[in-house]
Structure formats: structure tokens, C-alpha cells
Amino acid sequence: MSGDPADLTIAEAAAALRSGALSAADLLAAVRRRAGATEAQLHAYLTLDVEGAERAAEAADAALSRGEDPGPLAGIPLAIKDNMCTRGIETTSGSRLLAGYRPPYDATVVGRLRAAGAVIVGKTNLDEFAMGSSTENSAYGPTRNPWDPDRVPGGSSGGSAAAVAVGSALGALGSDTGGSIRQPAALCGIVGLKPTYGLVSRYGLVAFASSLDQIGPFARTVEDAATLFEAICGHDPSDATSYRGVPPVVRPTLEAGPEGLRVGVIAELAGEGNEPAVLAAFGRTLEALEVAGAEVREVSLPSIPYALDAYYLIAPAECSANLARFDGVRYGRRLPGDTVEQMMAATRRDGFGPEVTRRILLGTYALSAGYYEAFYGRAQQVRTLVIEDFARAYGRVDVLVCPTSPTTAFAIGERTEDPLAMYLADVCTIPSNLVGGPGISLPVGRDGAGLPIGFQVLAPPLGEAVLLRAARAVEVLAGFAARPALATSEAR
């Protein structure tokens, strides 16, 4: 077999493993070599599980040599965002507050990946407690973009996106509360899928905003994203919000193409406010869809301009409630104090970073007596308007589309002193978290600096089949095959 195995897609690697052209041990070694060559610049990982990954690779090779099928992801090296519990492996959520915490159990999604035969390479960097859009808020230092290490990879799942883009994992899991899978996928030039809320268990995910959080995959292709989605979706009795029905079947229509597909362009997100290069790539993709037989029309969602404001009341309010459990009593960091109250105050003051502190304060204020209805209550009313607007739109079209991010990757440090500018990075992705429907980002071009541009497809709740069909059609039409310089043999 020619070429570097770290550059294979999941589908290609799985075929090579089953044919005997490649062993899981060799594939793991290739991914580790790539990490060794790039981690000093990128810092995509917080923890590498050397022994556990080797055991999993050996088990996959042994099963394949016996002619057994150890699962659809047998021998495939994957990375896990470090806000998902991994038994016996440090899980920090990018915070000093959880330094040294080793959970006694796996998150449901991690258990499902292991059951499918996956090899867990390690835990990836993120904005602290998944709060951010650049992975600069990590207590352990920023992750950098493989296309240009002076730029951010997006966030909060920037470590996962960077690892997949550079080839130090063939796929990864992230979490998406307001775009934290799709936005870094766009900035790193890969595919990122946020499933319907409830289709993937959140058991074992360190909670940020419980009505918005969703776990999903990063991959290099839509097909690979579908494979990972199938491995992790399905009802989980450990998650009270888990969907009890049968998950959508996505394979039969994945290659159905764009002909007859009704595509709605979100007027409020596809115009001014986007960089010219982003709009140009978006426009070219729409033209290609029309030529290929899709019906493209503009759709107005009047509540969209208010979605960002509503999100930044709902998410901090839920974060304020969820992070109250980090008190220095049961687990995690603890600083001494003369009283329990002083101990908790000292622990939180030392453990929480500036962005997490800002959101806790905003959320606590929004939930406080006398302000609850004026802020949190009103934000939930706006959320209902957004849901209703999307429902009406899906009565006319099959999918909605817009740019994933209004800009390509921005420079490290460019927005750290301006929280509002940072929050605007998620303006195109936040609405679907409020609605609860699935969304996906995939690369369709590059700007003048060679940085990737993301195209976002949205679908109604449980609409993963039509979502992935549309995304696959866009992928074929765009023909994006570029790789970041750090993933090339010349850079290594």
C-alpha cells in the first residue's frame, strides 16, 4: 500500500484493514507519527492514551486475523474531545478545575465507539467547559490551525477539528452547543456534523447548556461522518433527553444526488456580514446545485437577527446552573478556606477562567429574582419564534443553507479582548441549536490566503437522511481535496 496511512479516510482505512493491506497497529503508528510531527505546533491533544490505544489496535488485529468482524470502526484511530468522560483517562474539559480528574466510567458515546472496535488515540483540547469559538480559552494553551498556525482552529472543539484535518486522527468527536462542531470544521477544512438534539446520548458529557448541547462527529468526508453518526446514535436510558424512537436511516439516500432537492437559502445569513471570499464560494456552490438539478430559492427567517441575543441568555443561564456542581467538595480542584463558603469561593475563583466566569455571572444575573422573566423568559419566547420560523421554512424546502462561518480562520489573539466579536463567529450556527435540528459543515473552497471556507446545510429534526444526502451532493460538486500544509510529507 502506497502513501501515508494517516491520510486515509475512515472508509479507505476500513477497507485496507479488512483486506489485510494494513494492520491496525500500523495505522495507529502512522497517526502517532503525524501527531509527533505536528503537536509541537498545533497542540490538538491534551492527553494521549498510549497503552489503551495499543491494546485496542492489537485486539482489532487479532479479531480480523481470525476472520471475525469486530465492528464497523475496527482498528480506526479516533480522538475524543476532553469534555467527554473516559474511564481512567484524565478528563479536564479544558479547565484547571478538573485537572487530574479520571472518571470511573466512559461516556455512552465513548463506550459505543469502543464497542464498534475503534482505537481511542487520546483527548483533544477545547475552550474551557466548551465556552468559546477559538480554543484560546483552554487553561492548557490554545490549539492552532493546521492551515496556518498563526490562526485559530475555531472552537470550542478546535482540538478535535485540528487533529482530523492534520491526520493525527482519522475522525473525532466534538460537542456542539452553538456551533462548536460546525464552526471549527469550517475553519479547518473538514466535515462536522451536529445531529438532532437527543439522537446522541449526552451521558458522560460535561454539561454546558443542557437544552443545547449535542455530541457529533468530525471526519474528512460526509460518508465518514455518516459512519461515525451511525456508531454513536440511538436511545440511551441513562440520558433522560435521549430520543426513544428509531434513529434515521441515512445510507440508502446518501448518494441520491441533488436532483429535485428543494434548497432554501437563508436570506438573513447569506448576505452582508460575510467576507467576500465566503460569499463567492457560497454562491458558486449554489450555482452548481442548480445546474445539477436542485431547486434553489431564498427563504426569510425573520427571527434570525434575534437568535444570537436569545442564545447568549439561554446558554449562560444553563451554564450557571450546570457549573454550580464544581464546588471543590466532590471532585476536581479544591483550595482551602476557613469555612465551606470560603473554600468554594477560592476554588472557583482559582479554577474558572475569565470566559467561564463571565458566562456564569451573565447567567446567574439572567436567572435572578426580578430579572428572570425580563431576560431568560423573554429569550425562551424568542427561541419559540425561531423554532416556528424554521418549521414554516421546512414546509417549503427540504434543507436550508448558509455559510458556516462569516469569516475564515482569524488570527490568534485577534478577538480575545472583544467578547462580542468572538460571539459573532457563531452567528450562522447558533439558530439550529435553538431549534434542535441537525446541521453539517463541509469545505467548498479557499480564500485568497488559502484558508478553507465552510458551507452549512440544515434540516428539520430527525432529518439526517436528507441532510447527509444534500451534504454529499455538495461535497461531490465542490470537489474539495486540499489538505493543510502541516499534513503534507514536505512539512513532515
Quick: pLDDT tens for 30-85.
999 999 999 999 999 999 999 999 999 999 999 999 999 889 999 999 999 999 99
* All residues at 6 or more sequence positions from 68 whose CB lies less than 8 Å from its CB, including other chains: none
In a domain, 465, yes or no: yes
Total domains, the chain: 1
* Residues noted as catalytic: 81, 156, 180
Burial class (CB in 10 A: 0-12, 13-18, 19+), 7: middle
Average pLDDT over residues 347-373: 93
Sole residue written with cell 468559546 = 132
In a domain, 208, yes or no: yes
In a domain, 205, yes or no: yes
In terms of Cα–Cα distance, which of 292, 236, 240 is closest to 105? 236
Please determine, for residue 243, whether its predicted confidence score (pLDDT) is greater than 70.
Answer: yes
In terms of Cα–Cα distance, which of 439, 438, 428 is closest to 197? 438
In a domain, 355, yes or no: no
Domain hosting residue 30, numbered range: 5-301+388-487
Per DSSP bridges, beta strands 452-458 and 191-194 are unpaired
- Cα–Cα distance measured from residue 80 to residue 94, given in angstroms and rounded to the nearest whole number: 13
pLDDT in tens, 431-476: 999 999 999 999 999 999 999 999 999 999 999 999 999 999 999 9
Contact by Cβ (8 Å): 413, 194: no
Q: List the CATH number of the domain containing 181.
A: 3.90.1300.10
Average pLDDT over residues 246-251: 96
The pLDDT value given to residue 492? 42
Q: Give the confidence band of 1 by pLDDT, cuts at 50, 70, 90.
A: low
Number of separate helices (H) and strands (E) present in the chain: 15, 11
Contact by Cβ (8 Å): 258, 294: yes
In a domain, 410, yes or no: yes
Question: Distance of CA 329 to CAs 120, 272, 325, Å?
Answer: 31, 49, 9
In a domain, 79, yes or no: yes
Contact by Cβ (8 Å): 482, 189: yes
In a domain, 377, yes or no: no
The helix/strand/coil state of 127 is coil
In a domain, 107, yes or no: yes
Please determine, for residue 490, whether its predicted confidence score (pLDDT) is greater than 70.
Answer: no
Provide the terminal-to-terminal Cα distance of the chain, rounded to the nearest Å: 20
**Residue 368: what are its φ and ψ, rounded to 5°?**
-75, 155
In terms of Cα–Cα distance, which of 207, 317, 282 is closest to 443? 282
- Cα–Cα distance measured from residue 217 to residue 176, given in angstroms and rounded to the nearest whole number: 10
The helix/strand/coil state of 77 is strand
> Cell triple for residue 116?
464498534
